[in-house]
Structure 1
């Protein structure tokens, strides 16, 4: 039946329709507004989530909130957590991951800030921007040509009846059971954990340290406690067993095996966790982000952060295409860059937790040995040079977007180790990076000639980039492995260089400077690789 027969109104065309008003969808809507796109976020729920749900904001997400001017409420209202305590009887041993992140991010450590507060923060900002979330409005259907770069027609049902919305793009940020993903027919590749995942918000918990995560090792179980505030307010996460227990059965197991003592329960949930990643993140003008694209266990405090960064990355790309700065074919970069991040997270964080946290006597001995080993090695490891890399992975700022496809030789503009990594936010460049524009940054020189780039590219800014050999230029053995066969590195390049930085803060290209000038061919090659038509290149902006 034709949906038009039921449509009571037709909304004007917009650039972006976002389905889902969780943290991912709200971030997408807000970045769209800041980048000049007309956007609408819809969700059938009556308002922001009331439950705490996801609770951890990592360093990279804090940097994004800083770019949006929203970091202060989180700094003021969050419970900082920068240590991990490994404890089962006795005082325990502490490992300081915030110290390992010092100098690599302005926001070392994790912030415990409940999802309900994150949603309110982002939704209020959207309302202030003149684009309030349309709560109580759910997606009924949509049509889109999977071979086209843009063009979606959607039917949205609300209190006043169905409304037809036409948009250039649609983002499905509608959760793990995503109707958008199902309508696209995209497989969700992964596995469901055999054990039941339990989550409880507790008050009056004994033996936890404010400002630290606490790992508990029992005979049958492993758990992590996240501090939520004073008075022993904490989130407990653990795997219970095969059957889904009720609240009292699950918590009785935690009390008996893990020695958890508390005064009252605020909230409890038990469910099976599906670790999965969508086969594709894009089909024509419809794109997936957050839990709609990938689902993780909440143990590492990574899932919500990955969704926030999906949205930030994707909408900046859409805005570049909408402005005509980049060719529509560049939309393929979203999946090419963000899907590997999700796959790595599932492989390392989720599977690793599933092994160590699985209940039963079969893994108990291994857990006890792991506890003793971690108690000795974790503090030393985080204090070593390798600790900076671990801190970067945990904080989600140590991400590498390869500038050219695997197997292709690296052109000169891509040989710098900084290319594909986020520009280290320093006191000298943080204000510039807040502008969320393409920028030029000069390192190792006090002056340089602006190359032939579009007038929309700001700069150059001087002396605000990473020092040579420091973040984001640190290289690991794993980094070298992923770059094997891709061409020579940057060691022989000139120390003076000009960086082309994307609106999301990642370095797109690096050009050696000779007498303050970058080679025109290097500049043209990089612009071409990022889909910036040569005809758009011009002199300095006024």
Structure 2
């Protein structure tokens, strides 16, 4: 066996190494590149994904695409699902999901845009700045940066990879593992991936000529022995079904026969069929040294609610902005700690909720089957009424992922009594255009500010006029992060932002003062 002399291998230096060029890795690479950070994205595959896997794009993800200038292209190709139909037949009442979200986001409803098309959209945007290195496989992490190095300056991670031209060492300030549920980066970190694998078998199929499902509607069919979700993918009955299989092993004909007899779902043709098991797992840590996990490498769960791809994209958006702040000298290295503190609780809540829902709808016991039969007519009756209520608006916001709140270690330091703190900034006036700068900003919404001693890296104060919905106070100034979340609420008195309050808020967010 040949001995590899590591010192003799070529070395690539970069700020960030991203392992995996799925939606999560591409989002991380694009945000870093857009903010002027040197990034290298590698993937063992020969090219982008062609299979149609995840397909639901939630409202918050479209808002992020808008910030990156990609929403218009995405919406031009997406198929919009504005409603939900719950029940056990085509006669179920349609509930208005878009209506429940409409006042809170410019992109209500669920946008059906397959994973492969998300990858194409993000990949083309990234290619102009940092093209993906395909056919390049991570071999090992040589140094995770968790121990102090001999070199001066920031800690680094070092990886060994194999590409078309042979072995290469990659030395990066950070390494992001976006390489899926079997993540090599996670294995190198040595962190656990706690959770369970459900014994039930599910199948997924892309169908043509489906009958009995209203246009632009996600249908949830509930039977005693089965449950199915149908996502519209285009006109003429083009839909995807995700359903429990009638047994542990199932073929296409048996599965679709059960869907027809149990749930009343028929189709003319099948484009694609596959079976799988559902996993509910969360990594015990999202960071070790200079290594980070995002997307499926950090958490996996059931497809209930169409949350998976969106959560990974938002992991990447969050992490890349924290790392860019550090790389650009805007924030101290401690700012990287915020990623795990903010995103791991999101993943844990998501896995917990989807696990409980999955247990309710997918259990094989006779009791669960009887419960499903009872729930079906009640759910069809209740769904439109719930979505039209205040509770429905809250649930719709969680589904759309725009109601996620990030907590601060010291809420008093950032004006946490203001309910806007920790939430994504609502759209008012032209503030969406300002957020496309991907910079730290101070906003006001009717408050007059003559002077504010801001660090040079913080834009503002920018006034967008009073918030007609009253979510943002006309007597406060808001410190807004590059990812669009409100980092602090600051008092405005006599045309000035309190210097002491500003100093405390900057320190709480690890920002480096001017």
TM-score using structure 2 length: 0.94
Instruction: Tell whether the 8 Å contact from 1:290 to 1:307 is kept in structure 2 after alignment.
Output: yes
Matches within 5 A, 1:439-518: 439-445=441-447, 447-463=448-464, 466=467, 469-470=470-471, 495-518=474-497
How many angstroms apart in 2 are the aligned matches of 1:244 and 1:342? 30
Answering whether residue 138 of structure 2 is matched by residue 139 of structure 1, we say yes
Equivalent position of 1:230 in the other structure: 235
Native 8 Å contact 1:84 1:97 kept in 2: yes
Query: Does the 8 Å CA contact 1:199/1:269 hold for their aligned counterparts?
Result: yes
Secondary structure (helix, strand or coil) at the match of 1:12 reads strand
In structure 2, do the counterparts of structure 1 residues 136 and 409 end up closer, same or farther at CA, with 3 Å as the change threshold?
A: closer
Match of 1:243 in 2: 248
Corresponding position of 1:116: 116
Aligned pair 1:105/2:84, yes or no? no
Which digits, 9 at most, give the CA deviation of each residue in 1:387-433, with x for residues without a partner?
A: 221111010010110122xxx56236222111111100234211101
Whole-angstrom CA distance in 2 between matches of 1:69 and 1:343: 30
Report how far residue 495 of structure 1 moved. Answer: 4.6
Number of residue pairs matched by the alignment: 508
1:528 aligned partner: 507
* Residues 7, 162 of structure 1: 8 Å contact kept: no
Structure 1 residue 57: Cα displacement: 0.5
2:191 is the counterpart of 1:186: yes
User: Is the CA contact 1:441–1:464 (under 8 Å) kept in the aligned structure 2?
Assistant: no
1:91 matched residue in structure 2 = 91
- The equivalences for 1:72-471 within 5 A come to 72-89=72-89, 91-129=91-129, 131-142=130-141, 143-147=143-147, 150-240=155-245, 243-359=248-364, 361-404=366-409, 410-411=412-413, 413-445=415-447, 447-463=448-464, 466=467, 469-470=470-471
Correspondences of 1:40-59 after superposition (within 5 Å):
40-59=40-59
State the distance in 2 between where 1:282 and 1:246 align. 41
Task: Name the counterpart of 2:151.
Answer: none
Mapped to 2, the partners of 1:113 and 1:7 lie a distance apart of: 45
Check 1:241–1:362 CA distance in 2 against 1; reply closer, same or farther (3 A cut): farther
CA contact (8 A) 2:158 2:170 kept: yes
Deviation at residue 358 of structure 1 after TM alignment: 2.9
Check the 8 A contact 1:7/1:161 in 2, yes or no.
no
Deviations, residues 454-493 of structure 1 (Å, cap 9, x unaligned): 11111111135755753xx7xxxxxxxxxxxxxxxxxxxx
Query: Hey, what does 1:482 align to over in structure 2?
Result: none
Question: Given that residues 423 and 466 in structure 1 are in contact (C-alpha distance below 8 angstroms), is that contact kept between their aligned partners in structure 2?
Answer: no
Superimposed CA distance per residue, residues 46-88 of structure 1 (whole angstroms, 9 cap, x where no aligned partner): 1111111000110000001111111112111011001001243
- Counterpart CA distance in 2 for 1:459 and 1:32 is 23
In structure 2, the CA distance between the partners of 1:498 and 1:371, relative to structure 1 (3 Å rule), is same
The alignment partner of 2:484 has SS state of coil
- Alpha-carbon RMSD across the aligned residues, in angstroms, is 2.0
Deviation at 1:189, TM superposition (A): 1.2
Instruction: Give structure 1 regions of 4+ aligned residues with deviation exceeding 3 angstroms.
Output: 1-4, 6-9, 147-150, 464-470
Is residue 429–residue 464 contact of structure 1 (8 Å, CA) maintained in 2? no
Query: Aligned-pair distance for 1:500?
Result: 0.2
**Contact 2:444 2:465 (8 Å CA) reproduced:** yes
Is contact 2:446-2:465 (8 Å) kept?
no
**1:150 alignment partner, SS class:** coil
How far residue 289 of structure 1 moved from its aligned partner, in angstroms, is 0.2
Structure 2: distance between partners of 1:468 and 1:85: 30
**What's the CA shift string for 1:11-42, capped at 9, x where partnerless?**
43100000000000000000010011110110
Q: Secondary structure at 1:411's aligned position in 2?
A: helix
Instruction: State how far apart, in whole Å, the 1-side matches of 2:14 and 2:466 are.
Output: 37
How much does 1:271 deviate?
1.4
Return the alpha-carbon distance in structure 1 between the equivalents of residues 197 and 232 of structure 2.
28
Deviation at 1:386, TM superposition (A): 2.1
Q: Whole-Å Cα distance in 1 between the matches of residues 457 and 42 of structure 2? A: 31
Deviation by residue 1:293-336 (Cα, 9 ceiling, x = unmatched): 00011231100000000000000000001112111112111000
- Point out where structure 1 has 5 or more consecutive residues left out of the alignment: 474-493, 538-542
Deviations along 1:143-165, one digit per CA (max 9) or x if unpaired, are: 22324573011111111211111
- The 8 Å contact of residues 221 and 360 in structure 1, kept in 2 or not, is answered as no
SS in 1 for 2:491: strand
Distance, in Å, in 2 between the alignment partners of 1:416 and 1:59 is 24
Q: CA, structure 1 residues 360+7, in 2 after alignment: closer, same or farther (shift >3 Å)?
A: farther
